[in-house]
Amino acid sequence: MQLRRDVKPRLDAAGIKLLLVSIGTPERGKDFAKENGFPEANLYADPENCTYDALGFNRGVARTFFDPNTPLSMR
């Protein structure tokens, strides 16, 4: 919601296109876009997690949700 409300309008005004890559199927991506009011054209689905793996993101609950760096990075 914050991306749609606060970030995307500023990027649009600067001529920058915001794109999201979501882990999951294209169908689930469409659901996400509809549920969150995010433009479907700006959302790409990655069912095999190739992007996630290529970027070396952390996996697992302990390394993400229970890591003290997670909430700090969201600030």
Asked whether the whole model's pTM tops 0.75, one would answer: no
Give the model's pLDDT for residue 22: 86
Sign of CA dihedral 53, 58, 59, 65: negative
Residue 36, both tokens: 């969150």
Give the model's pLDDT for residue 4: 80
Give the model's pLDDT for residue 3: 81
Give the model's pLDDT for residue 30: 93
**Is 35 in contact with 59 (CB distance < 8 Å)?**
no
The total number of structural domains in the chain stands at 1
Sign of CA dihedral 28, 34, 35, 37: positive
Residue range(s) defining the domain that contains residue 9? 2-74
Tell how far CA 50 is from the center of its chain.
14
Taking the chain (75 residues) in runs of 10, the rounded mean pLDDT of each run is: 85 93 91 90 92 81 67 62
Residues 6+ apart with CB under 8 A from 11: 17, 18
Give the model's pLDDT for residue 71: 65
